[in-house]
Amino acid sequence: MLLFFGLENWMSYREPYGFSMMATPSETYSSHLAIIPGKRRVLPTSLLFGGNASGKSNFFDAIGYLRGSVLGHYLPEDSLPFLLDEKKRQSPTNFQIDFLYREKLLRYQLSIDRSRVLHEALYELDRDLSAETTVFQRQLDDLLHSDSLSEEAIAGAEEYLACDNSKRLLLRQLIAESDAAESAYMWFRESLSVQNSRFSEEARFDLIESLGEKPQLLDLINKLLPLLDNSIDHFELAANKDKQLFAVHRDTSGKEIRFPLQQESSGIRHLLDILPPLILSLDDEVSQAHVMVIDEWDRNLHSLLAQELLNFFLDQRRPDSRTQLIISSHDLNLLNREMFRSDELWITERLSDGSSTLIPLSDFKALQEDEVDYRQLYLEGRLGGIPNLNAFLLSDWPQDAEVENDH
């Protein structure tokens, strides 16, 4: 599970911002909350709202970049600091991520500029989410401290850092030497999934691979077809080596007609990207828990269908659940206190200097009243995160010269 993600000097996020999945004391929808060691409560979902270019995608890109860096796909030179300030262009980009993997609480920190790793650290956390054990602390090319590595592992790490590996992460090097380092790496690789980000290695969830691993997944998808309000009778996986997925329709005589997915609507194809991880969340064993981070999750989906899918996900949550869904959306019907807690809803906004802010609705005092309408307050601009339409009034545009001459 993702517990906290902090970022600073990343793309439009000039200042440090923290994104917490830890629940506030509110008892709203408390049955949806996960309970982790220390009896702390964790949110199952978070939704980001905001105008175009407000910073939603940049936030998801930060998570995608950090994941890709841990897996060895990206280097410090691939990072994207805030460029609209000369001082920030030369300053470090900082990340911190707290997470739970197989009931082990961990914190990973990374500070980089575009030339090298400046600081890197991994900690095991206690039940109060405070650093209990320092697995390693690295500053530039020096290993500063470790509470748990063997003397042999420390010597190997020091040798690694001395061999011109200023751009490489020490975490990957310690996988075989430390259970905590292995757990951290496996969480990034197996549990965390980032879709629709410029830093996603996989553009979409691999549906065909999932169907191969869990054949019953196709049956579950077909059972959800009545929600889609379309003419598809069922989906069928071709029994050949290509394993192509077909949408099966029926003609006026009742005969089955198979359509390749390329001929289906973009909404149907996108739905098949997001349905498998939602359904797999039903198989929510600790070892299989997923953190699904999806930018523009509900694009090409009808608003009512998007709500139904989220309700489907939330209805499966239990105190021992470990799967989470973190998404962005422009669908204001989801900015809804009848579905979500205020600490599950976040607003991004672009300021006049080009930087972004990231604030949970639970920080707004105006939302503490029981009857307040989140969506109405948002549309009134009282929560920020809406486009500046004053700069786009068609009535103020110059009229065509010929039209003016006619008058």
- Asked if residue 30 lies in contact with residue 319, where contact means CB atoms within 8 angstroms, the answer is no
Distance CA 71, CA 193 (A): 12
Q: At residue 397, does pLDDT exceed 70? A: no
What pLDDT shows up at residue 386?
Answer: 65
Nearest to 181 by CA among 144, 137, 215: 137
Out of 71-75, 267-271, 274-278, pick the least confident: 274-278
Region 80-93: mean pLDDT is 96
Single-letter residue type at 213: E
pLDDT tens for residues 144-171?
999 999 999 999 999 999 999 999 999 9
Cβ–Cβ contacts within 10 Å for residue 302, how many?
Answer: 14
Residue type, 100: L
Report how far residue 335's alpha carbon sits from residue 47's, in angstroms, rounded to the nearest whole number: 9
Residue 29 has phi, psi (to 5 degrees) of 50, 40
- For residue 406, the model assigns a pLDDT of 53
Alpha carbons 140 and 119: distance in angstroms, whole number: 6
CA distances from 93 to 186, 194, 247 (A): 24, 20, 46
Residue type, 121: A
pLDDT tens for 288-305 read 678 999 998 887 778 888
d(CA 113, CA 66): 13
Residue 196: predicted pLDDT:
83
Is the pLDDT at 286 greater than 80? The verdict is: no
Q: Are 284 and 323 in contact (CB under 8 A)?
A: yes
Mean pLDDT over 8-17 rounds to 97
Q: Does the structure show a pLDDT above 90 at 192?
A: yes
For the stretch 94-115, pLDDT in tens is 999 999 999 999 999 999 999 9
Burial of 25 (0-12, 13-18, 19+ CB in 10 A): exposed
Res 229: pLDDT? 60
Is 19 a residue whose pLDDT tops 50?
A: yes
Of the candidates 171, 125, 116, 118, the one whose C-alpha atom is nearest the C-alpha of residue 149 is 171
User: Is residue 287's pLDDT more than 50?
Assistant: no
Long-range (24+ apart) CB contacts under 8 A made by 177-183 are: 177/149, 177/150, 177/152, 177/153, 178/135, 178/136, 178/148, 178/149, 178/153, 180/104, 180/106, 180/122, 180/124, 180/133, 180/135, 180/148, 181/122, 181/135, 181/136, 183/101, 183/102, 183/104, 183/106
156: exposed, middle or buried (Cβ count in 10 Å: 0-12, 13-18, 19+): middle
Q: Quick check: 117 and 173 in contact, CB under 8 A?
A: no
> For residue 387, what pLDDT band results from cuts at 50, 70 and 90?
low
The whole-angstrom separation of Cα 364 and Cα 204 is: 35
State pLDDT tens for residues 351-363.
Answer: 999 999 999 999 9
pLDDT at res. 274? 74
Beta strand segments in 37-156, E: 40-42, 45-49, 93-101, 104-112, 117-125, 131-139, 142-145
Name the pTM for this structure.
0.87
240 pLDDT more than 90: no
The whole-angstrom separation of Cα 196 and Cα 205 is 10
Q: What is the mean pLDDT of residues 24-37?
A: 94
Task: Report pLDDT for 283.
Answer: 59
Mean predicted confidence (pLDDT) in 70-78: 96
Predicted confidence band of residue 261 (pLDDT cuts 50, 70, 90): confident
* Mean pLDDT score, 249-258: 90
Give me the pLDDT at residue 381, please.
79
**pLDDT score of 86:** 95
Cα(138)–Cα(100) distance, rounded to whole angstroms? Answer: 22
pLDDT at 277: 67
User: Which CATH fold would you assign to the domain 2-203+286-392?
Assistant: Rossmann fold (3.40.50)
Considering the chain, what is the average pLDDT of its residues? 87
Residue 46 CA to residue 340 CA, distance in Å, equals: 9
Mean pLDDT value of segment 119-123: 98
Q: Which of 7-21, 54-68, 173-187, 308-322 has the lowest mean pLDDT?
A: 308-322
Does residue 318 have a pLDDT over 70?
A: yes
